[in-house]
Each structure stands twice: as structure tokens, then as C-alpha cells.
Structure 1
Amino acid sequence: MTSKSTPRSRWLRLAACVAVPLLTFTVACGSDGQARDAGVATVPEEPAGTGTTPSTPSGDGDGASSGDGASAAGGKGAFYDAQMNYVRCMRGKGGVKEFPDPKLSGYLDWTKIDELSSTYPEVSKGGKKGVCATELTEAMNHEPDRDAQQEYESMLAHAQCMREKGVSRFQNPTMSGGNVIPGGDPNPANPSFSHDSPAYKQARTACADKLLDGLDGMQ
């Protein structure tokens, strides 16, 4: 079963902060810009099938060769190009001159972005006064289809890993009626564990590879 990932990944927490429409789940922006509320990824009712994983665009990720990927299968090249437009906006009128290039998959590099948050508060707000909202929306519209079952299994493995690494109250994701409901904190409004604690950060680093590209921060 495939689903349109608009919006699905962690970078869409920006959309909530700048009031960009087209959200299919609800997120709450915390003081550090992270999505603190669980998202519900809506999956169209259609026969189950195998999700496609389009090829990544060519280039070394520095933005210089994004055009080479424009014809990549499934629109992955268009997604990368749209993300590069957003990145350029953030570096320019967005006021975050060190905003990193997206990964070759098109998804943003949140490890590097988070490192900038203390220097650039705008990094979690779509630039100064949300000036890059148009570019963000365009990137959202080009995000490729994703396989809901694969996403669920990825988030489940991540949740299990987080508990094994010491975050005992980290909850599993669930599947309901074709919807993927991320796990994580059982009560985001009244957190059961601190996302800023050394133990949580160590677990997050150790379990990062359990999440499919684009799912970081969903739970």
C-alpha cells in the first residue's frame, strides 16, 4: 500500500510553524522547533501493493548538479530540485546562510539543521517571518509516494531500539484503517521523557539508522 507523503517527514514541522496549508496530520511546534505531537499519515483506500523507491538524482549533494536528477523515476529528481530551491531561499532571504544541502534522496539533513538551531532561530520557522513558505510548499508537493507498511515497520524497529537503549516509555507506532500513527512519547502535551536529556540523545543517535530516510523526527 502506497501513500502520498504530503506531508510526512520531519521537515514538515516547519510547515506547522509557518502556517503552511496542506497538512494531513497535526503537529505542535516546541521551543526547539520539533514536532511534539504525533502525526497521522493518511493512506488512500486502494488495493495493497508494493511501494516504489525511486532512484536518487545524480550529484554530490552540494546543489551544483541538481538538474541532472530532474528525470529520475517517480519524481525524486523534481523533489530534490524543489528542496534545493527551499535551501537556497533559506540561505538567502531566510537568513540562515549555513543551511545545509538536502540529502541525495531530497530529504533535509536534520542532524546538521539541529546543530544550527542555537545560532539561527529561523531554522525552525521557515526563515525570517516564514519568507520561504512558498518554496516549502512546493517541496511538499513534490515529495514522492511512500509505502505505508514499510514506514510502519521502520518506526516500529526504531521504537523498539529506543526502549532497548534506555528510553523505556517510548511507544510503538500503530496502523489503523490504512493510517500510520507514529509512536514516541505517550503524552506529548505532558512529556514522559526529555528530548534534551543525554540518555535520550544517545538513544536517538544509536537508533537513527532504524528510520527510513525522511522519517526522522516523526516519533
Structure 2
Amino acid sequence: MNPTTTSRATARLRIAALAALPVLFFSAACGGDGDSAGGDGGKKGDEIASVPDTPSASRTADGAAAPSTAPAGKSAFYDAQLKYVQCMRVKGGYKDYPDPKLSGHLDWTKIEEISSRPGQNEAAKGGKDGVCAPELQRAMLAEPKRDQQKDYESMLAHAKCMRDNGVSRFTNPTMSGGNAQPGGDPNPASPSIDQDSPTYKQAREACRTKLLDGLDGMQ
């Protein structure tokens, strides 16, 4: 993925998570004890709830949203993402951090909303001081290899939908070296598409389902 071709705020969050991961992992390994976003403090010895094998209550004792029961035939990717989500809720202090989708991919629309809140921009990057960096790294390593042709076709349908819904400058994705490269703003360095406009927001919502899981926010 070439980050200069992305334009949406979610894409920047995901790129930031990838770029910051080595630093976060190092910080976590050194045992940083910075305060969490939820005010509980990343105390040493905090334990993360294990992946549930039976249905759980909708809320945990401390008020955090309890992860839903993993689907039948759950993958190692789903398990790794669920452990990351649990860490973000317990150690990171983001009590409403969303469950992973059944595919194992995170719900970046909801994470973007959380990250937009004052003082919570670390929600997309493993938590403050990289408290959940090890879990984030394991989840990234467990992600299955993507079908680049299907990703390209999905992003192409999304780009066409965006133009059909009034965002005329939205560009098509491209293929480079066998990898699908996102489309979007024709000049990300100096954006020409107003992402805060009602037209853009309406188009984004109308075209949301055109993108395969894991591609939300990539263009």
C-alpha cells in the first residue's frame, strides 16, 4: 500500500498504526506505565481476559463492552484481533473499542470515531505508550494474504460509486507490481476533495458497502 495515494482520515490512522508499530513495540517491551485514555493507568500485572468460548454478558464488571462470542470456525486472525481489542479495552482504557468483524478485520469506521475524540487519538495505534503494541503486532502478522485482484475490483467499484454520487474528482485505484493501490483524491498532498462536505459524506455512506472487509478507509 502506498500511503500517499490514500485520502480518508481512516487511511491515515491505519498507516500511522503501521508506521508507529516498531516504536510502540519497543516502548511496550520497556514496560512504560503511562496513563491510559480511560484513566485507569496501564498498571503492570493487568491481565487481559482470555478469548471467550462461551457467550459473555454485554458488559463487564468495570463497565467495558464485553466481546461477543467468537463465530464458529473462527480464524487465528480473528483470535488475534479479539485479544488486541480486549487489551485496548482493559489496558488501553477504550471501553467501547469495537469487536472485530466476523472476517477478523477491525471496524475502522468506529475506531475513527473514537480516535476523533479529544485525547483519544491513540485508539488507532495500540493505545498510549504502546500498551497494546504486542497484541497489535500479532494481529497484523496473523492477517491472511489478500487477493489483490479482488481488492482492486472492490476499490474500482467504490471509486465509480463515489463519482456517481457527486464526488467527480474521485480517482480509480491502480495496479502496481501486482498490488492494488487505492484511488481517491487526485492530489493527496494538497487535497482537492472536501471530505467535510455534505456531498462527500453522503457518497461515502452510500458507497460504504462497495469495499471488502479490510479495505474500509483505504481510499
- Alignment-derived partner of residue 151 in structure 1: 151
Structure 2 Cα separation of the partners of residues 60 and 165 of structure 1:
41
- Alignment-derived partner of residue 109 in structure 1: 107
CA displacement at 1:159 relative to structure 2:
0.4
TM-score, reference length from structure 2: 0.68
Gaps of 5+ in 2: 1-9, 24-52, 57-65
Identity level (%): 62
Structure 2 Cα separation of the partners of residues 67 and 161 of structure 1:
31
Q: Is 1:209–2:209 an aligned residue pair?
A: yes
The answer to whether the 8 A contact 1:60-1:104 is kept is no
The answer to whether the 8 A contact 1:18-1:133 is kept is no
Structure 2 Cα separation of the partners of residues 189 and 65 of structure 1:
42
Question: Where in structure 2 are the equivalents of 1:1-219 lying within 5 Å?
Answer: 12-16=14-18, 18-20=20-22, 63-66=67-70, 69-70=73-74, 77-119=75-117, 120-219=120-219
Of structures 1 and 2, the larger Rg is shown by 2
Gaps of 5+ in 1: 1-8, 22-57, 71-76
Structure 2 Cα separation of the partners of residues 14 and 203 of structure 1:
25
The answer to whether the 8 A contact 1:96-1:122 is kept is no
Higher helix share: 2
Structure 2 Cα separation of the partners of residues 98 and 89 of structure 1:
12
The answer to whether the 8 A contact 2:173-2:184 is kept is yes
Structure 1 Cα separation of the partners of residues 14 and 54 of structure 2:
24
Structure 2 Cα separation of the partners of residues 17 and 195 of structure 1:
24
Structure 2 Cα separation of the partners of residues 166 and 20 of structure 1:
40
Structure 1 Cα separation of the partners of residues 185 and 54 of structure 2:
37
Amino acid at match of 1:213: D
Q: From the superposition, tell whether residues 20 and 200 of structure 1 become closer, same or farther in structure 2 (CA, over 3 Å).
A: farther
Amino acid at match of 2:157: A
